[in-house]
Amino acid sequence: MAGSDNKKAVRDYISRMPSLPVTVSKVLEVCNNPKTSPIDLDKVIQLDPVLMGRVLKLINSAYYGLGTQVTSLARAIIMLGINTVKNLALSTAVIDRFVDKGAFHALNMDGFWRHSLCVGVTAKHLAKRRGVEPTLIEEYFAAGLLHDIGKIPLNNALASEYVRTMALADHERIPLFLAEKRVLDLDHSEAGFVVAESWKFSGAIADAIAFHHTHESYHGDHGDVVRTVAIANYFANREGIGFSGNRYPDKPGPEVYGLLDMEKSMLEEIEDQVQADIEKAKVFLKLGA
């Protein structure tokens, strides 16, 4: 299939994907207003009992380890912050659209999501270690969790071509995104950005999806998140935690660590914590059960 045909097939697939719930779109809209209060967000989420139940389930899970049962959404928003609850709502809604073995062909669903959880957890731990403001920490997790979302439309709309893409990456020992460009004439970052546009989410998460393999050319406002996700993605692939189809990942240069003011050894220091938190974060994949 020619490159233009591939791009059309992927765009057509994305256009047919179920849209995000209206409530989640409203959550994003409300949270983009700097004057939004916890009460405003509480009112929006209360309109969707399913979303409210999922957010409360997450907040009371081992992932947060609060040690006390939280039954009030308003209290949860105050405890965790507007930005954290926004990212929880977005993450759970996106995953709900894709946690289905029938939605995966060339890629293994369990391996894909374990890799995604690892990147999210690693990015979050790196942000914590580096002293990122607590109210922003969950954005690193959400960006890492969703960074590879573009692989799903490639995998589904172009299943046989995607098998050939992964085979080329393995045979020539090159990063998967380079093999995607050669075989399909587009890569998962590009496809992921189309998903982000379709679902109208922007900011750090959309930028991490679009630039986690080309972070050196990124000059936007969310460089810290983009570069952190790039390093977390390399770590997950290098350690073989989950499987995203990328056996020969691109290695971030020393300048990336310099820009983040972190030592490479930090990855080894957090490895045990990452493994433990991946198990806790699996609650994200079980919310629809």
Q: pLDDT tens for residues 192-230?
A: 999 999 998 889 999 999 999 999 999 999 999 999 999
Q: Is the pLDDT of residue 103 over 70?
A: no
Q: Compute φ and ψ for 279, nearest 5 degrees.
A: -65, -40
Domain containing 112 equals 3-286
The CA distances from residue 123 to 109, 162, 241, 284, in Å, are 21, 27, 14, 16
Angle between helices 82-98 and 22-31 in degrees, nearest 10: 150
CA distance 261 to 195: 32
Q: Which amino acid is at 106?
A: A
Q: How far is 262 from 278, CA to CA, in rounded Å?
A: 22
pLDDT per residue over 44-59, tens digit each? Answer: 999 999 889 988 988 8
* Mean pLDDT on 169-192: 97
CATH code for the domain in which residue 123 is found: 1.10.3210.10
How many domains are contained in the chain? 1
At residue 168, does pLDDT exceed 80?
A: yes
Computed over every residue of the chain, the mean pLDDT equals: 92
Q: Considering only CA atoms, which of 88, 155, 85 is closest in space to residue 120? A: 88
- The winner for highest mean pLDDT among 73-77, 94-98, 107-111, 113-117 is 113-117
Q: Global pTM?
A: 0.93
Contacts of 171 (CB under 8 A, 6+ apart): none
Residue recorded with tokens 């990328």:
246
d(CA 132, CA 140): 10
